[in-house]
Chains A and B, each alone.
Chain A
Amino acid sequence: MEKTIGSKWRHKDLLDVSQLDRDEALHILDTAARFQEINTRPVKKVPTLKGKSVVLFFAEPSTRTKTSFDMAGKRLSADTFSLATSSSSLVKGESLKDTVLTLQAMNPDAIVIRHSMSGAARFVADRVRCSVLNGGDGRHAHPTQALLDAYTLRHEWGDLEGRTVLILGDIAHSRVARSNVLLLNLLGARVRLCGPRTLLPAGVATWPVEVFSRLKEAVRGVDAVMCLRLQLERQHAGLLPSLREYSDEYGLGARHMELANPDAKILHPGPVNRGVEISSELADCADSLILDQVASGVAVRMAALFLLITRKGENAQ
C-alpha cells in the first residue's frame, strides 16, 4: 500500500509549500495521519526505509526540528547522520558548496538542511542527486513546520476550509509565517497577519492575507492564533523600543482570546518566550495545541521522508 502512495510522488525535494498543489499537500497530511498511528504503538518502528540514509545538516542550531526529523527517520528504520556547524569540523570555514559536494559523495538518500540564509535549501538541492528537505532556510521557508501546523489544525477541525487563522508577531523574519501563509491559503483558510509595521515584510499588501496593526482587532472572530517567536535581537536592531512594549502591544493574553471564536486554538512553533509573545497561562491552556504540534511534527516528517525517498523512478525498487 505504502509503495503505491510513494510512487505517485513527483517531487525530488521539499523546499517550500509553493511547489505543492492542494492535492499534494493533502496527500502529505493523509500520509502523516497513517504514520501517526505508528507513533502510538508500543514498538514505534516500521521497516519502511530500512537501508536508507538521511543526513541531518543543521548549519543553524535547532534542537527541536532536528530531533523531530531524527526521530521521524528512525521510526521508519532509516539511518540518520547528524552534521552540525557547531560540532563538526567538516563545516567550519568550508563553503556550503564544498559541504554539499562532500555530503553528495557519501551518497545519502536524503538531506535535511537547516540554514540561516534564504535560498540555501534550493542551493543544496540544485547540487545533489538525493532528495533535499528544507528544515528552514533563513526567512524564506519552513515547509514541514507549516505542514505540521496544518496537520494539527486538521486533526482538531477536520477541515481548514473557511477557517480564519491569525499569525501574530515577527512576520518579516519568519519562514514559519511565509510557509504558513501559502499552505493555509492552499487549504482554504483565511489568513490574518498582525505585528508592528517594523516586523512586517516588504510588499505584504500583495500577500493573500488581511493585515492588522492592532491585536484586538486582528483577533476578533478568529479560529486560531499562531504566535511567532520573537528573536530578542530585534530590539537591538532598532525594530522595537523594548520587549516590554512589544509584549504590551502584541503579546497574546487571555483578554485577547475572549474576542476570538469560542474554542479558538493557540499554536506556537516553539521555543516559546513566555511573557513576550504569549502569556504563560495561555501557552498551557486547554486550547493550546503547542504540544500537539510537536507530536504532529514527527508524523509529518515521516510522511515527507517517506514520500520523497520512495518516489517512483528513484529509490522505489
Chain B
Amino acid sequence: MSAPDCIVRAARLNGRVVDLYVADGKVLEVRETGGISATNPDPAPAACTEIDATGLVLLPSLVDAHAHLREPGHEYKETIASGLDAAAHGGFGTVMAMANTAPVNDEAAITDFMLAQARRAAPHGPRLRPIGALTKGLQGRELAPMAELARAGCVAFSNDGAPVTDSGLFRRALEYSSDLGLRVIDHCEDPGLADGGVMHEGALSGRLGLKGQPSTAEAVQVARDVLLSLQLRIPVHVAHVSCRESVELIAWAKQRGAPVTAEVTPHHLVFDETAMRDYDADAKVNPPLRTADDREALRQALRDGTIDMLATDHAPHAAHEKEVPVDEAPFGVSGLDTALSLTWSLVADGVLDEAAFVRAWVSAPGAAFSLAVNAFKPGDPADFLLLDPAATWTVTPQAMRSKGKNTLCRGRTLPGVLRYHYLAGRPLVAPEPGPARGR
C-alpha cells in the first residue's frame, strides 16, 4: 500500500464507522475505524492531511445528470462559473449541462467553449459534462452532428426544453446515438396535450383558473419512448418523471428488458401541486408538480429502482422573471444548492435509505452515462463529501451560490450541512477558509 496523502477518520459510511485513505487523488482503502493494530499498522505518514470526521456522513460526490447552466447566452440567469460553484457547495462533483443555451449546444465549438469556461472557472472541478443537442437548434427537424459533439466531449444527447414530436425522427435519433454508445435523454411531453398548461391539470388547476397539463401529456411520450427502446433495444433515458402513469409504463418496459433508465427531481419527490395554491410562480416547473399520489408513486419507484436516479433539473432564473403572475413566469426551480439537503431530508425521514440515496445520486448516473464515480473501492476517484447530518441551514438568497434564487425552499430549514467536498483528492469545500454554511 502506497502512502496516503489524506485520511478521513471515523466517518459514517452507510452504517459503518470507517477511515478513508486517499493517495494521488484515488481511494486507497476504506478501513473500519479502530482496526489499527501491530499486524495492521496505521499507514499515516507525517505529512498527510487528516480530517476528523466524527459524526459526519461520508458520501461519494454526487452526479447531476440534468442541469441548465445557461451559458452561453443567458448569463444573467447563471454562468458556468456560478453554476459550478453552487454545484461544488451543493455536493456535486459532476454536472451534466443541458443543450438549450443560446446558441444551442449543437456543434463542437459550443461544447468546446463550455468546457473552456469550466476549466477557467473551476480547474479542479466540479467536472462539467455537456449534453449535446439531439436535433439542430433543438428544432426537432434535423439530427444534430452527434459524432462531432461526442468527440468534443458531450456525454449524452437531449432535446430538453423542446420535445421532439416527430416520432420517426426521434427513432432515428435513438439509432444514430446508439452507434456512439451515448444515451438520449428525453423530456417527455406531448405539446398538444400539455397545451400551454402552467401546472398539473386537476381539481386544483380548475379551481385556481390556471391552465393545466394532464399527466397524460407526459405519459404518452414515455410510452412512445419505452416502446421504441423495447423494439430497437436501444437505451433511452426518461428525464424528470412526474406522474404515476409514467412510472408504470417504465416498470412495464423494464420488466420486458427494455434498456430504459429514468430520473426524478428532488422537487417532484418533496413537493406536490398544492405548492401552486397561492399562485407561487416559483412552484411553476415543467413537468408540473403533481398530486400527493403521484409523489408517493415517485418515491416508491425510486426505492424499488423503477426510477434509477435523481437529477436536479436545475433551472435558474433571474428574480424579475419569476416575480410575475404565474402565466407569465418561466418554468423551473434552481436546484443545485438545495438538492443534497432536500434529498437528505428524505433519508432523515426514512423515505429513502442511504444506499438508495447513493445509488440514485452516484452509481446509477455513473453507469448510465459512463462517468467515473466513487464506490469507495481502491482506485476509485477520491470524490467525496462529508455531511453533517445533525446540522441544519436555512435557505435564503444569500445562502445560495447559484444566481437563480428561484427556490421552493425559501425560508425552509433543511437538514444536512456540507462540511467538506473533495474531488480527486483535492478540497473543493473545506471548513476553512471558506465560509461555513449553517450550524
Give the residue name and chain of the A residue nearest to B278 (CB): A122
Give the residue name and chain of the B residue nearest to A172 (CB): B206
CB contact between A202 and one of B206, B323, B327 (< 8 Å): that residue: B206
B326 at the interface (CB under 8 A from A): yes
| Interface range, B side | 20 to 34
CB contact between A201 and one of B206, B214, B278, B327 (< 8 Å): that residue: B206
Q: Closest approach, in angstroms, between the C-beta of B403 and any C-beta of chain A? A: 19
Distance between Cα atoms of A202 and B273 in the complex (Å): 14
Give the number of chain A interface residues (Cβ < 8 Å).
Answer: 25
Tell whether, in the assembled complex, residue B325 and residue A115 are in contact, meaning their CB atoms are under 8 Å apart: yes
A155 at the interface (CB under 8 A from B): no
Contacts of A139 in B (CB 8 A): 209-210
A47 at the interface (CB under 8 A from B): no
Tell whether, in the assembled complex, residue B203 and residue A202 are in contact, meaning their CB atoms are under 8 Å apart: yes
B208 at the interface (CB under 8 A from A): yes
Tell whether, in the assembled complex, residue A203 and residue B205 are in contact, meaning their CB atoms are under 8 Å apart: yes
Most buried by A among B202, B278, B325: B325
Give the residue name and chain of the A residue nearest to B203 (CB): A203
B142 at the interface (CB under 8 A from A): no
| Chain A residues numbered 125-170 whose CB sits less than 8 Å from any CB in chain B | 137-141
Q: Closest approach, in angstroms, between the C-beta of B427 and any C-beta of chain A? A: 42
Tell whether, in the assembled complex, residue A119 and residue B208 are in contact, meaning their CB atoms are under 8 Å apart: yes
Tell whether, in the assembled complex, residue B210 and residue A203 are in contact, meaning their CB atoms are under 8 Å apart: no
Distance between Cα atoms of A123 and B209 in the complex (Å): 15
CB contact between B202 and one of A119, A123, A202 (< 8 Å): that residue: A202
Contacts of B205 in A (CB 8 A): 202-203
Q: Scoring B residues 189 to 203 as 1 if CB is less than 8 Å from chain A, else 0, what string do you get?
A: 000000000000111
B351 at the interface (CB under 8 A from A): no
Tell whether, in the assembled complex, residue B325 and residue A120 are in contact, meaning their CB atoms are under 8 Å apart: yes
Distance between Cα atoms of A207 and B203 in the complex (Å): 8
Q: Closest approach, in angstroms, between the C-beta of A146 and any C-beta of chain B? A: 14
Q: Scoring B residues 312 to 328 as 1 if CB is less than 8 Å from chain A, else 0, what string do you get?
A: 00000000100111111
A87 at the interface (CB under 8 A from B): no
Most buried by A among B209, B214, B323: B209
Contacts of B326 in A (CB 8 A): 117-119
Give the residue name and chain of the A residue nearest to B197 (CB): A202
CB contact between A118 and one of B201, B210, B320 (< 8 Å): that residue: B210
Give the residue name and chain of the A residue nearest to B321 (CB): A95
| Additional 19 contacts, C-beta under 8 A, given A96-B328, A118-B279 | A96-B325, A115-B325, A117-B327, A118-B209, A118-B210, A118-B325, A119-B209, A119-B210, A119-B279, A120-B325, A123-B325, A137-B209, A138-B325, A140-B208, A140-B210, A202-B202, A202-B214, A203-B204, A203-B205
User: Residues of A with Cβ closer than 8 Å to B?
Assistant: 95-97, 115, 117-120, 122-123, 137-141, 172, 175, 178, 201-207
In the complex, 23 of the A-B residue pairs with CB atoms within 8 angstroms, ordered by the A residue number, are A95-B324, A97-B323, A117-B326, A117-B328, A118-B209, A118-B210, A118-B327, A119-B208, A119-B210, A120-B325, A123-B279, A141-B209, A172-B206, A175-B209, A178-B207, A201-B206, A202-B202, A202-B203, A202-B206, A202-B212, A203-B207, A206-B203, A207-B207
